Chain A
């Protein structure tokens, strides 16, 4: 009897510890949201603001306070467009390449396989300057294609999909072949639908990474017509230092979609992670 009581107490304590630690870990998010709703004289004054207003949010959407309007909403749309197209291309190319590497024999396959591994461990920083020059030469500075295309292939996604596709039985593909299906049909009607959980994991990681990219977007984007929200917040960091409230609101605008997306797919994500981490 004493044993079970002790055990219940221990379990309860474990939950309390975990919840307290969790609250500490997600406190920066709480701080961010509360400060975006705080009165302007309260921002960054207390860990929990004592009075609230909608001024920061109104400011963000109206831009009437400053002479030069800061196109926050427009920047949000840019982030959405760039991230969505880039990640779509990354996923499309990854399943195609992975299918070839996992299920088709062709000359040079080993070389491609090894070169992908080499590139994954290659310090990408070397490529930054010449990639920028390349984009400049073809006139893609300050364009969406300049932000999208140089980041449109994810080696990591190819690597993950290849491993996953290898586990799909060849007989399944053979029988579909006998029924007259082309490889494209097999890939998109059989193989891809079978990879739902790993697709969720890859999608969420790629989307998060692309959504919060700073360095490349900052180099390519030169004006309000292409600037992404992350870059805009970064640029306004100093000059708008006196308006921290709206900066917090813009940050909520940047972070919230990723959190919603993640929570929406969290079930598939957990399943997929279990596979990925095996």
Chain B
């Protein structure tokens, strides 16, 4: 029997209520209003421009680009993160001893700052860096890692997939642990091979963990900023210009806070809808396996 006590309840939740009012609700309404103005952060004059910011953004090629870049990251990053974390999980799960030690070690990339990984990647992939020099001397290949649109997108995706692999791997390991080994034994008696076993037993049984990982990874791909800001600045030629990058540039470099607020609202709606649709698809996939 829980106790009913309004005063106490409100007292204990007050930090959240105050915080949400000041740092969530107030900014939320403020951003709607800002999006309808042409304010530039400095001038004392604020002109109401109606929906002009939205109309301009819808027509702007840079916005279209940000829209597609996010999906490109999604298509490259999510499978990469899934493969790397699956590799971590399957490898560690097969070990009879020291699972915990290995999981902790594989988790270390998650502790890295995006700024630091960018520094390492920039150094290691620079023109005179170890990898480029080796490729040039051994194969005569000259890869401009951050100067080519496709390569830059892949490099950033790999960096983030690397960072997340141990964390997602941990989630997948706990999923693998919960699969009853008797199923595998029964399958072995029926002469099921390794490939079939993985796709017909492991993947369907692992679905709840896969769901968590997929949702987390999709969320990450809609919020990419640090690595892009640090390494490519959204380039080359806008190839890695994510929503966050575009909003940051418009608001804090070009000082167009009204216009940037409009983009942020569009980005939020796109993100919200995309994640909703993707979630539905993943849940449909789960239903196919019999999960609800």
Determine if A255 and B113 form an interchain contact, defined as CB atoms under 8 angstroms apart.
yes
Complex alpha-carbon distance, A24 and B264, angstroms: 38
Q: Tell me if A5 counts as interface (CB < 8 A to partner B).
A: no
Size category, A interface: 35 or more
Closest to B248 in A: A215
Q: Tell me if B288 counts as interface (CB < 8 A to partner A).
A: no
Complex alpha-carbon distance, A112 and B105, angstroms: 38
Determine if A25 and B162 form an interchain contact, defined as CB atoms under 8 angstroms apart.
yes
B165 contact from A11, A25, A105, A258, Cβ within 8 A: A25
Q: How far is the CB of B247 from chain A (nearest CB, A)?
A: 6
Residues of A within 8 A of B (CB): 11, 14-15, 17-18, 21-22, 25-26, 28-29, 31-32, 35, 43-47, 92-93, 96-97, 99-101, 103-109, 112, 115-116, 119, 121-123, 125-134, 149-150, 152-153, 158, 170, 174, 183, 208, 211-212, 214-215, 219, 230, 233-234, 237, 244, 247-248, 251, 254-255, 258-259, 262-263, 266, 269-270, 273-274, 277-278
The 5 closest A-B pairs by CB, nearest first: A106-B9, A100-B12, A130-B27, A212-B113, A130-B30
Determine if B2 and A262 form an interchain contact, defined as CB atoms under 8 angstroms apart.
no
Determine if B20 and A125 form an interchain contact, defined as CB atoms under 8 angstroms apart.
no
Determine if A32 and B120 form an interchain contact, defined as CB atoms under 8 angstroms apart.
yes
Q: How far is the CB of A157 from chain B (nearest CB, A)?
A: 11
Of B52-60, B94-102, B149-157, B189-197, the one touching chain A:
B94-102
For B15-57 the 0/1 string (1 means CB < 8 A from A) is 1110110111011101100100000010000000000000000
Could you say which residues of chain A place their CB within 8 Å of the CB of B5? 104-106
Q: How far is the CB of A102 from chain B (nearest CB, A)?
A: 9
Closest to B27 in A: A130
Q: Tell me if B77 counts as interface (CB < 8 A to partner A).
A: no
Determine if B115 and A237 form an interchain contact, defined as CB atoms under 8 angstroms apart.
yes
Complex alpha-carbon distance, A251 and B107, angstroms: 18
Q: Tell me if B137 counts as interface (CB < 8 A to partner A).
A: no
Of B121-129, B140-148, B180-188, B199-207, the one touching chain A:
B121-129
Q: How far is the CB of B4 from chain A (nearest CB, A)?
A: 4
Determine if B19 and A262 form an interchain contact, defined as CB atoms under 8 angstroms apart.
no
Determine if B12 and A21 form an interchain contact, defined as CB atoms under 8 angstroms apart.
no
Complex alpha-carbon distance, A255 and B7, angstroms: 44
Could you say which residues of chain A place their CB within 8 Å of the CB of B252? 132, 219
List, sorted by A's number, 25 A–B pairs whose CB atoms are closer than 8 Å: A18-B91, A21-B88, A96-B13, A96-B15, A100-B9, A106-B9, A119-B20, A122-B268, A125-B244, A125-B267, A126-B265, A129-B34, A130-B31, A131-B23, A149-B23, A233-B113, A234-B229, A237-B119, A251-B113, A251-B116, A254-B113, A254-B115, A254-B116, A255-B111, A277-B175
Contact residues of A: prevailing secondary structure: helix
B4 contact from A99, A106, A208, Cβ within 8 A: A106
Q: How far is the CB of A234 from chain B (nearest CB, A)?
A: 5
Residues of B within 8 A of A (CB): 1-13, 15-17, 19-20, 22-24, 26-28, 30-31, 34, 41, 87-88, 91-92, 94-96, 100, 102-120, 122-124, 126, 128-131, 133, 162, 165-166, 170-171, 174-175, 209, 222-223, 225-226, 229-230, 243-244, 247-248, 251-252, 257, 260-261, 264-265, 267-268, 271-272, 275
Complex alpha-carbon distance, A11 and B131, angstroms: 33
Could you say which residues of chain B place their CB within 8 Å of the CB of A103? 2
Complex alpha-carbon distance, A121 and B218, angstroms: 12
Determine if A106 and B8 form an interchain contact, defined as CB atoms under 8 angstroms apart.
yes
Q: How far is the CB of A263 from chain B (nearest CB, A)?
A: 7
Assuming the A-B contacts A28-B117, A127-B27, A129-B257, are A215 and B16 also in contact, with contact meaning beta carbons closer than 8 angstroms in the complex? no
Could you say which residues of chain A place their CB within 8 Å of the CB of B23? 127, 131, 134, 149-150, 153
Could you say which residues of chain B place their CB within 8 Å of the CB of A183? 8, 12
